[in-house]
Structure 1
Amino acid sequence: MDVKYKTIYDSIKDKILNKEYPANSKIPDEISLCKEYNCSRMTMKKALDLLVQEGLLYRKRGQGSFVMSSNNSKGQIIIPERELQGFTKSSQGNVTSKILEFKLEFANEEIANNLNINVDDPIYNIFRLRLVNNKPYILERTYMPTSLIPGITLEVLSHSVYDYIENTLNLKIASANKTTKADVSNELDHTYLRLKDIEPVLEIDQIAYLDNGIPFEYSISRHRYDLFAFNIFSVRR
């Protein structure tokens, strides 16, 4: 059994956690790491893939692997593969979606940066109201690159997009980087979430990644404050 990749994984993970590889920094390329750890490219790839799946690294096409940001002062949380699933699966009760807007457009600078694509690359712009047992729960704005996630239709959106990505496109969803913040409810929240002027919402910004470290989704979801529970399980090293 090849356990060397696990030893390499542990070593690089320690360097990330101990800030030897700081957040957002580029780690050495695979060839350099292979020389450092005296291993094959396949062994190194297995170790790096595991770090990507855990949300510790992400990849930029043609540029290499980078350390995921972990700025907890902004309420940021990294969700590993084993806990990441679409809203349809993760929620209890009868989940339905009302499509408020669905269009193709070109990425602006903010969206391009979050999805690691070029400005003016084509993207889906999806605006949905998510309901549980017919009660409004979340307003969600989602952006996805059409080149990476082709074929999204209204039919796909009415079910589980994550199921479509994994079972139809045969892509593997690995991790997500989430930032949470409280906000004052706005006009759209009042209309669709049935909130009053003085009531707050919890906004969650998410960038979700495939198992190759490529971001496939940038979303901003606004949750009813009275229907949202936030649970974190922490393990001390």
Structure 2
Amino acid sequence: MALPMQRCCARLRALTLPWPAAGYHARPRAWGLDRIYKPDPSDPETKEWHKGPAYEAKLYGRFGSASGVNPESLWPNQEQLRAIEEEEREWFPGLREMLNRVEAKEREMLRLKQERDKLIAANMAKMPQMVAEWRRAKRDAKQKARDEKARKERLLAQAREKFGTNVDFRSPKFQELLKDLEKEEKKKMKAKKRKQKEEEREAMEAVLSTPTANTQPTAPVSDSSV
């Protein structure tokens, strides 16, 4: 039954109207555009966003002088104006200040680049010497390792001569003997170095005490005019 009635209403609308019309009808607004809603600030039920100069500025921007808002009250006072100016100076600097900052940053970057280039040039100049020192240190390390290996083999040979070939290297007696041999060898090396230093000192004293060949006694000069 409902379907035939809908078809009948659609045909009637098509006959009475020159264009198709929708069947939806919106409810009218509680207050139209010609009415300005100005809440009472003293009313406890008034919302916070309906109070203050921000809402009044919104009303004045929408309805103009019909809103009843005094435009002079929307301007900031002296204290608010100083706060706005300070905020603008902090967060929105002028063009000259921004250019000065950019120039200072570029100068700092140029200075750092020049210092880096100088450091690279100095290191490149030192590169041959550094490579030679590295190779010399490598040779010294290899020679030290060979000397240490030869010393250990010599100590082991001395220990084998005393204990024999069939000896346990992990035995406490063998380890103690190795320590004694190492101490004895260190003493010999210290005595050798001490003797070498004494010989060098004696040679230096002998050189200093010997007069040079060019030094001869000078004869008194006679004055022929006397």
Q: TM-score, normalised by structure 1?
A: 0.16
**Higher share of residues assigned helix:** 2
Q: TM-score, normalised by structure 2?
A: 0.17
**Higher share of residues assigned strand:** 1
